Amino acid sequence: MSDNFGFTETPASSGRELTYLEAIAEAIRLEMERDENVLVMGEDVGGGFGGAFKVTKGLAERFGDRRVLNTPIAELGFTGMASGMALMGLRPIIEMQFADFISTAFDSIVQFASTAHYRMDAAVPWVIRAPSDGGIRSGPFHSQNPEAWFVHTPGLKVVAPATPADAKGLLTAAIRDDNPVIYFEAKPLYRSLKSTVPAGEHVVPLGSAVIRRHGTDVTVISYGSMVHQVSAAAEAVEADGISTMVVDLRSLKPLDVETILEAAASTGKVVVTHAANRMAGVGAEIAALIAEEAFESLDGPIVRMGGADTPVPFSPPLEDAYRPDAAKIAGAIRELAAW
């Protein structure tokens, strides 16, 4: 099924077309129906409001206010509360209104929840839904991509779906996982992206990347909304006779090391790109992994692309300059292919 991002997804059997947002909402509803220990909590998630982006709309009416909990504007407090609930056998889904605000809960996440299994042999099965990414003129407080903080933290799992089917499947897997999982959902895709999603139960295992496009000249590795920019770039350079392989990581921790190394070795030329700022981003880890494990297969330098080392600008021209996009990625592919 093709969408307006120039990205092609193979239709799933017995699927329907859902938006990225609808797929997330369906995963939550189905898991709440399947397991009475699953609950939702966050600012304005209940009471008919349905959260800042309406993902949880209708859940309070269906499941009641004991399983759809409105919280104060106190991310540190309600994330700590969720960890206590998880230790007692519940499975909270925590909604951060914006991923940017997750820093307020940093202590609860990286000091307590991430270390609980190591310290206490105790499971903390919560999921934090973190609406992330920019490109929609929301400024520095509502556009960040802070995934690298949590990839760096032992004891956490981190995922970033790029399609509606993966949004559903990865969230389902995250809710069922006994580890704390940070689930970065791309705000720009909420209502702009619609494609086939399997009906009923659908699980995408954490730690599995996927090849979105096969190619022989250059491999481009990405995740989240940037996968669509990469796919558009791959289509653009095809007119120049350049064949591009596109790898969607899906899971940032654990990483699918085998797929990454095989994809890098198959072309010998690699571009890694993400919307987060380039400095010490996930792309640096991918580049280091390839340099260490697949160096003899390389036929050119590993190219990293990411946001500038500045807060995310509000000004449209400045934000466009800040972020990688299809045109910039296509330029990097062409330059590397000619190496």
Task: Tell me, yes or no, whether 51 and 179 share the same domain.
Answer: yes
* Span 257-284, pLDDT tens digits: 999 999 999 999 999 999 999 999 999 9
The pLDDT of residue 48: 82
Q: Domains in the chain: how many in total?
A: 2
Task: Tell me, yes or no, whether 280 and 141 share the same domain.
Answer: no
The pLDDT of residue 78: 97
The total of other beta-carbon atoms located within 10 Å of residue 15's CB is: 17
Give the C-alpha separation, 188 to 185, whole Å: 9
Task: Tell me, yes or no, whether 272 and 327 share the same domain.
Answer: yes
Domain boundary among 198, 223, 250: 198
pTM of the model: 0.94
Task: Tell me, yes or no, whether 255 and 142 share the same domain.
Answer: no
Question: Is 274 an annotated catalytic residue?
Answer: no
- Rg over alpha carbons for the chain, rounded to the nearest Å, is 19
Task: Tell me, yes or no, whether 194 and 47 share the same domain.
Answer: yes
7 occurs within a structural domain = no
The pLDDT of residue 14: 59
* Span 185-234, pLDDT tens digits: 999 999 999 999 999 999 999 999 999 999 999 999 999 999 999 999 99
6 occurs within a structural domain = no
Contacts of 145 (CB under 8 A, 6+ apart): 99, 132, 133, 134, 184, 224, 274, 275, 276, 277, 307
Burial class, 162, CB count within 10 angstroms (exposed 0-12 / middle 13-18 / buried 19+)? buried
28 occurs within a structural domain = yes
pLDDT at 128 over 70: yes
Domain boundary among 158, 176, 198: 198
263 occurs within a structural domain = yes
Task: Tell me, yes or no, whether 176 and 261 share the same domain.
Answer: no
Task: Tell me, yes or no, whether 188 and 283 share the same domain.
Answer: no
CATH of the domain at 267: 3.40.50.920
8 occurs within a structural domain = no
Task: Tell me, yes or no, whether 257 and 184 share the same domain.
Answer: no
Token pair for residue 209? 């990347």
284 occurs within a structural domain = yes
Task: Tell me, yes or no, whether 144 and 227 share the same domain.
Answer: no
Task: Tell me, yes or no, whether 154 and 280 share the same domain.
Answer: no
* Span 9-49, pLDDT tens digits: 444 445 689 999 999 999 999 999 999 999 999 999 998 88
Task: Tell me, yes or no, whether 107 and 216 share the same domain.
Answer: no
Annotated catalytic residue, options 117, 142, 152, 202:
142
CATH of the domain at 192: 3.40.50.970
Full residue range of the structural domain in which residue 302 is found:
210-337
HSE, side-chain direction, 13 A CA sphere, residue 191: 4
Using pLDDT thresholds of 50, 70 and 90, give the confidence band for residue 1.
very low
Contacts of 172 (CB under 8 A, 6+ apart): 27, 30, 31, 201, 202, 203, 204
Domain boundary among 152, 174, 198: 198
Give the C-alpha separation, 115 to 113, whole Å: 6
Task: Tell me, yes or no, whether 144 and 38 share the same domain.
Answer: yes
The pLDDT of residue 47: 83
Biggest alpha carbon–alpha carbon distance for the chain:
60
Where does residue 134 fall: left (phi above 0), alpha (psi -120 to 50 degrees), or beta otherwise?
beta
For 257, phi then psi, to 5°, come to -60, -40
2 occurs within a structural domain = no
Give the C-alpha separation, 106 to 272, whole Å: 27
69 occurs within a structural domain = yes
Contacts of 50 (CB under 8 A, 6+ apart): 44, 56, 57, 58, 59
